[in-house]
Amino acid sequence: MTEDIIITEKTNPDTIDIDISTSYEIARMINNEDLKVAKKVSENLDSISKGIDLISTNILKGGRLIYFGAGTSGRLGVLDASECPPTFNTPPELVLGIIAGGDKALRYAIEGAEDSIIFAQKDFNKLNISDKDTVAVISASGNAVYVKEILKLAKEKNVKTIAVTCNPKAEILKMADISICVETGPEVISGSTRMKAGTAQKMVLNMLSTGAMVKIGKVYKNFMADVKPTNIKLKKRAVTIVSQISNCSYDTALDVLQKNGFKIKEAVIQILYSKSYRDASKILNDNNGILRNVFKNLK
């Protein structure tokens, strides 16, 4: 009977006495378990890189990345999607995070959400998903009815899929085009997959979305070349980025950015090639928004 228990639900022998431990010992136990996560993620780099290539290829065709999940996994998908617009200046619809039970489920547990075929069908159908899109399902156990139904619906529409789980026996691993299984083992608190499993899934989603954004030209070197400066901190970052790439003074970068509405890539072209904002925009557009292409073609 024990063998049928999902690995993330098993009892962790290293934390069996956590309830009678000191606060320091509790923190150490959790930290010791967390140290195992990055290594387990590293064992999946081949599958993760395939996911990055799939997502970036589909985005360049006009598609979207759409995360689906329930509970903690769903929240992580929504979080990753919501961070793409400010970080990479992407339109909100380019990367979407859908959680079973709707936005209310972000704050409250929705009874039966992860077991609902109806929720899955409703969420999938309202997005008009096409074969240009990439669907990524996230589930620690990998057996939630909601995500399995999403994969089934995607297959019917010839949509490419990615599965992210922490259970090597997960059913979704056999259903997706690309399978990523980070086997994090039993949790500090048995079954509390918001912990190691959640950390692992967050790391994987960071790699998938960030890797895809790098591939489509949203990053120059390791600068956020498309960051959306929505506050004072980000505006200062934009000025620093332009100053470093253009090898100009902070004041020069600030002046150009203030005049062009804080468009980083255009500002770089304006400064380096003495172009107007209008000309810089055209040059950038002609080079698919990729600064390296601009520098290569305007030597």
Residue 92 CA: distances (Å) to CA of 78, 83, 88: 11, 10, 11
Sign of the C-alpha dihedral, residues 228, 232, 233, 237?
positive
Of these residues, 3, 25, 33, 83, which one is catalytic?
A: 83
User: What is the spatial distance between Cα 223 and Cα 290, in angstroms, rounded to a whole number?
Assistant: 13
Q: Which of 242, 234, 287, 245 is nearest to 260 (CA)?
A: 242
Centroid of chain to Cα 237: 22
Of these residues, 3, 9, 25, 114, which one is catalytic?
A: 114
Which DSSP letter does residue 223 get? B
Q: Could you confirm whether 83 is annotated as catalytic?
A: yes
Q: Which of 140, 132, 120 is nearest to 93 (CA)?
A: 132
Residue 181 belongs to what H/E stretch? strand 178-181
- 3-state class of 70 per DSSP? coil
Which DSSP letter does residue 68 get? E
Q: Which of 245, 246, 237, 239 is nearest to 260 (CA)?
A: 239
Q: Which of 66, 126, 125, 72 is nearest to 98 (CA)?
A: 66
Q: Could you confirm whether 93 is annotated as catalytic?
A: no
Provide φ and ψ at 156, rounded to 5°.
Answer: -65, -25
Give me the active site residues, please: 83, 114
